[in-house]
Amino acid sequence: MTLTVLEPATEQVLAELPRAGADEADAAVARARAAYPAWRAVSPPDRARLLHRLADALAGEQEELAVLEARNAGKPIGDARGEMGMVADTFRYYAGAVERNLGDTIPVSGGVAMTFREPLGVVALITPWNFPLTIASWKLAPALAAGNTVVLKPAELTPLTALEFERIALEAGIPEGVVNVLVGPGSTAGARLVEHPDVAKVAFTGSTEVGRRIAAGAAETIKRVTLELGGKSANVVFADADIAAAAAAAPGAVFGNAGQDCCARSRILVERSALDSFMDALEEAVEAVRVGDPLDEATDMGPLISADQRSTVASFVPDGAPVAIQGSAPDGPGFWFPPTVLCPVDRGDRAVREEIFGPVAVVVPFRDEAEAVALANDTIYGLSGSIWTRDGAKALRVARAVETGVLSINSNTSVRVSTPFGGFKQSGYGRELGPHALDHYTEVKSVYYAT
């Protein structure tokens, strides 16, 4: 079977690849299993050195990787460069973690009790198409640092940088079999990894629906699972905020990556007394978003990933939808959709409640702090969000009250290599990045030594 990979900005064929199924998944797990004892036995300083070399090699190929990612995922080249920088930084960060994978000593009678953080074994990493190599690196780096071997299954729509990663890892000296990339459909290759008895853990990023299926499948073999799923995050703008700054930043927070971002602040909640001034400033900012060729340095937003994704997104903006602001998008080939803001909307509308995963935002006014918090929490999701206010105490009160894993105050940035990332509620469980990710790639072992 062959997989045809398209370039979403042109609809041209970018690559034809062999397509793996369940048998190839079994073979990849067998390679990872065979490589595990030697990899976990690599001394900590040597494993750290190898991961630093890998980080250097990734940084050395940053431009080629960025162009490939920009073409395959349809993302602006400037964004792709930033993401590839983060990939290298993620490996550097976890290279430093290898020798800080500390245990405890615990006071007991008659001897010494100590804990070790042991690797799990073979870990399956199943990743989506929106930030292909970046999200893979959030899983690869801590998994390898902790001494696991991995099988990475990228999304079929965007497998190209994962295949480059496999080559770069080998060239950097990571032993054969430690990193295995499996390009095949989720329904066969991915599902086989989830049920495979020799896979100790599945780390997944993608839709809540598939996440639910993976958690259920993994239960058969009591696999460890971490899930990073969808979101419907709120961008809460109080009237006492710097309204111009909040409005100028809002498009980037929801139209970045053409809205195909689990952290997209796609519900913009605005205190009613500031609604008119916010909408005026937002209109200017949305109309300034340049949609076009991902390889053009001036582009802010590229196309959607596929024709299917475009029709899903379009279903949220039917004829007669309350379009308050709409930017422009190119005609012709490519899966384009213009940045769109809906207002006024009914709080029960699909566009208000469901994850759109495209460049469509809703603006919903609120009366006071209590209503802002209630609206922000009125969703099955709990991934991200922003709070804009000049009142520091209010900012912290609201931050504590909003049920999400990652928040930013007077900013929309919430993802950093050194800080934990993950969801509350149906946005998933477990944390990636920061010091917490290692916990999810190790088991705690307690050893008692009688003295």
Question: Which residue numbers are catalytic?
Answer: 228, 262
Binding status of residue 153 toward ligand NDP by CB under 6 A: yes
Contact of 6 with 15, CB cutoff 8 Å: no
Residue 135 CA to residue 130 CA, distance in Å, equals 9
Closer to ligand NDP at the Cβ: 2 or 109? 2
Give 57 or 183: the residue with its C-beta nearer to ligand NDP: 183
The Cα-based distances of 339 to 95, 251, 304, 342, 414 in angstroms read 39, 8, 11, 10, 22
Give me the residue whose beta carbon is nearest to ligand NDP: 186
**109: its two tokens:** 């009678």
Q: Applying CB under 6 A, does 230 fall inside the site for ligand NDP?
A: yes
Rounded to 10°, the helix 62-73/160-171 angle is 160
SS3 270: strand
| One character per residue 245-264, x = contact with ligand NDP (rule: CB under 6 A) | -----------------x--
CB count, 10 Å around CB of 128? 23
Nearest residue (CB) to ligand NDP, 68 versus 229: 229
Shortest reach from residue 219's CB to ligand NDP, in Å: 14
Question: At closest approach, how far in Å is the CB of 258 from ligand NDP?
Answer: 12
Alpha helices in 290-428 (DSSP H): 307-314, 350-353, 369-376, 392-401
| Through-space distance between the first and last CA atoms of the chain, rounded to whole angstroms | 62
| Alpha carbons 128 and 228: distance in angstroms, whole number | 10
| Residue 371 φ/ψ region, left for φ over 0, alpha for ψ in the -120 to 50 degree band, beta for the rest | alpha
Contact segment (CB under 6 A) with ligand NDP among 125-133, 243-251, 329-337, 412-420 equals 125-133
In the bound state with ligand NDP, the residue whose beta carbon lies nearer, of 149 and 309, is: 309
DSSP per residue, 219-230? HTTT-EEEEE--
Give the residue from 354, 232, 261, 214 showing the smallest Cα distance to 75: 261
Q: Taking CB under 6 A as the rule, does residue 214 contact ligand NDP?
A: yes
Token pair recorded at residue 318: 């039917």
Q: How many residues bind ligand NDP (CB under 6 A)?
A: 26
| Distance of alpha carbon 373 from alpha carbon 394, whole angstroms | 11
**Shortest Å distance, C-beta 360 to ligand NDP:** 12
Which region, judged by CB under 6 A, interacts with ligand NDP, from 153-161, 323-331, 374-382, 409-417? 153-161
Q: Which is nearer to ligand NDP, 309 or 386 (CB)?
A: 309
Is the CB of 129 or the CB of 388 nearer to ligand NDP? Answer: 129
* 205 lines the binding site for ligand NDP (CB under 6 A): yes
Please report whether residue 165 would count as binding ligand NDP according to CB under 6 A.
no
Element containing residue 250 per DSSP (H, E): helix 243-255
CA distances from 231 to 149, 356, 426, 432, 450 (A): 30, 9, 8, 16, 50
Among 121, 142, 147, 206, the residue binding ligand NDP under the rule CB under 6 A is 206
22/401 with CB nearer ligand NDP = 22
| 84: its two tokens | 């590839």
**Which positions from 316 to 355 touch ligand NDP by CB under 6 A, shown as an x/- string?**
---------------------------------------x
**Interface positions, 415-444, toward ligand NDP (CB under 6 A):** none
130 binds ligand NDP (CB under 6 A): yes
Nearer to ligand NDP, 7 or 156 (CB): 156
**Hey, which residues between 171 and 200 contact ligand NDP (CB under 6 A)?**
185-187, 190-191, 194
* Cβ proximity of 122 and 150 under 8 Å: yes
Which part of the chain contacts ligand NDP (CB under 6 A), choosing from 27-35, 73-81, 120-128, 234-242? 120-128
What's the CA gap between 451 and 446, in Å, rounded?
16
Length of the chain counted residue by residue = 451
Q: Is 156 in the site for ligand NDP (CB under 6 A)?
A: yes
- Interacting residues with ligand NDP (CB under 6 A): 126-130, 153, 155-156, 185-187, 190-191, 194, 205-207, 210, 213-214, 228-230, 262, 355, 357
